[in-house]
């Protein structure tokens, strides 16, 4: 892991953060209450190939049976707060208030998105990340019930596939991510994939051009995070009416 100098947490600016992601760098904090952040560029990068998600028989059953109600961008602030909270086996996190604040700003600008898994009215888990061009930078995922984060990731992969994305960045490899199909690549290979994924979508994002955030890029250079909500529908539907789990399982098993 390569780190650069720390900066004051309160100085995080959305445009600076977008510019950092565009060159393969992202912010982290030492712990939840840290007053500063540092910038990270891993020597080895974890990505999850969008055609390589491992859908186990048990996970497919959970998805097809619609065990969780899955939504997108319905509770972004609750998801990031849940990811930042301590939990059994994870007493501290790298998401400090400055990172939380800037991602809420990026969400309001149209760049940061969440996937939520609900058990009734209870938020059982989910994930959040940043979309730019045809790249999605996964930040954190969380479960408060068994398999909730796996289901959220499966829905994210289906959403990215439906929307024409080409890169799902997972930052650091873990055994959990590897079991779902993530693989580790070198920094140089990652930079090549990143450059292709965000080509033509960076200038407006970093400049904060009005309207640029609605698609996290411009024209054909941008993936469509909400394309999944139109799968099987004759007209655009809201994220309150997501596809059935059977559609998700089908999308995940389709070959290119």
| pLDDT tens digit sequence for 27-49 | 999 998 898 999 999 999 999 99
Among residues 51, 55, 247, the alpha carbon closest in space to that of 151 is found at 55
Compute CA distances 140 → 47, 128, 159, 240, whole Å.
14, 6, 17, 23
Identify whether the C-beta of residue 33 lies closer than 8 Å to the C-beta of residue 94: no
Q: Give the integer Cα–Cα distance in Å for 143 and 160.
A: 21
Q: Is 41 helix (H, G, I), strand (E, B) or coil?
A: strand
Q: Would you state the pLDDT for residue 204?
A: 56
Intervals of the chain under pLDDT 70: 1-11, 88-91, 202-220, 232-242, 256
Distances (CA, A) of 224 to 133, 135, 143, 201, 227: 9, 11, 26, 13, 5
pLDDT at 254: 81
Say which residue the tokens 């991602």 belong to. Answer: 103
Model-level pTM greater than 0.75?
yes
Is residue 199 classed as helix, strand or coil in its secondary structure? coil
């Amino acid at each position: 892991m390569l780190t650069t100098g720390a900066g004051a947490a309160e100085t995080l600016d959305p445009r600076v953060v977008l510019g950092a992601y565009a060159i393969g760098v992202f912010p982290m904090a030492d712990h939840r209450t840290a007053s500063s952040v540092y910038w990270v560029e891993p020597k080895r990068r974890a990505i999850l190939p969008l055609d390589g998600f491992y859908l186990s028989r048990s996970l497919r059953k959970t998805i097809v049976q619609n065990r969780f109600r899955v939504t997108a961008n319905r509770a972004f602030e609750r998801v990031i707060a849940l990811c930042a909270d301590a939990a059994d086996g994870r007493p501290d996190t790298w998401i400090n208030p400055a990172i939380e604040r800037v991602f809420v700003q990026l969400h309001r600008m149209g760049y940061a998105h969440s996937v939520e898994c609900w058990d009734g009215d209870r938020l059982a888990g989910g994930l959040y990340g940043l979309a730019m061009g045809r790249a999605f930078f996964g930040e954190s995922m969380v479960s408060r019930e068994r398999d909730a984060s796996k289901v959220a990731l499966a829905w994210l992969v289906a959403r990215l596939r439906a929307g024409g994305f080409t890169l799902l960045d997972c930052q650091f490899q873990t055994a959990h991510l590897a079991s779902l199909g993530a693989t580790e690549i070198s920094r140089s290979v990652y930079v090549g994939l990143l450059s292709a994924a965000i080509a033509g979508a960076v200038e407006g994002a970093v400049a904060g051009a009005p309207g640029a955030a609605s698609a996290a890029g411009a024209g054909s250079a941008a993936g469509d995070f909400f394309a999944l909500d139109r799968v099987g529908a004759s007209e655009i539907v809201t994220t309150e009416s997501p596809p059935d789990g059977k559609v998700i399982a089908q999308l995940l098993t389709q070959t290119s």
